[in-house]
Amino acid sequence: MSQFTSGFWDVYIGLISIVSIVACALLLKMQSVRKPVESETSGHVWDEDIREYNNPLPRWWAWMFYITIFFSLGYLALYPGLGSYAGALGWTQVKQLEEENAHAQATYGPIYDRFAAQDIVTLSKNAEALAIGQKLFLNSCSQCHASDGGGSRGFPNLTDKDWLWGGAPEAIKATIADGRTGAMPPFGPVLGEQAVRDVAHYVMSLSGGAHDSIRAARGKEKYAQVCIACHGAEARGNQAIGAPNLTDKIWLHGAGEEAIAAQITKGRINQMPAHKEILSSAKIHLLTAYVYSLSNVPK
């Protein structure tokens, strides 16, 4: 790969750009000084009598091309565009981003700092804080959890009180900052198809769903062998490892025998990305307050 990172390519790109612009200028000049011949045509004829004449470009049109050429040369002199040449102004995307971030921090930093000094429960009742938190949520979270926090299949609903990793303020903050990875191993090879179906019926029975009582009885024994370690003896889950509660009627990846059997057979891996490298601690604090408010609406 070293041949693609050598200085040769910087020179190559620069030469190609300059030569192309100069060649366009020369071609335009050659065509502009050419005197029109009234009877000369290009040989193209339409509708039997409409002929295309081989005339030079109108003067105003040629000057538009000249202006474009002069602009491109000026741009390449001031801004990066010729290989590794940085341009006379020294502009870079990173530099502009850093300047914009510094300006934003100077403008809005004091606001975030003021809210960072307050606890999350208090902020969850503050209209101004929630308005800012909502904007952060729409920018960073709505792609997965929907604009109203209602979630979708595979992405948790944040407006109920069913929490995989805990709904306390500090637990929510840790989830946002550090991310989460929940893994359910595939048990299809261990149990076999029939036993998987039995366990699925037992799981459906836990939340009062329609099920086959005979299969559920057999599935209960298998559950105690392979599922109890994560979901617990009462199947209420374990927030320390993100194991869901199987006794409620909330299903992240779908309910019913087929959906549950597929999860048992193939397993699942759910990942929530960490945001501490994207959002400041003060923004995460406000975002936590907003998320907390979604399931703790004052009555």
> In this predicted model, what pLDDT tens digit does every residue of 28-66 receive, in sequence order?
888 777 666 666 777 778 888 888 877 777 888 889 999
How far apart are the C-alpha atoms of 295 and 180, rounded to whole Å? 20
- For residue 1, the model assigns a pLDDT of 47
How far apart are the C-alpha atoms of 248 and 202, rounded to whole Å? 13
Contact 292, 129 (CB under 8 A): no
Structure tokens at 11: 């020179």
Q: Quote the distance between the C-alpha of residue 193 and its chain's center.
A: 37
Cα angle 195, 196, 198; round to 5? 60
Instruction: Choose the weakest-confidence range: 32-36, 109-113, 198-202.
Output: 32-36
Q: Is pLDDT at 146 greater than 70 in this prediction?
A: yes
Query: Domains (ranges, CATH) in the chain?
Result: 2-78 (no CATH), 102-179+281-294 (1.10.760.10), 184-272 (1.10.760.10)
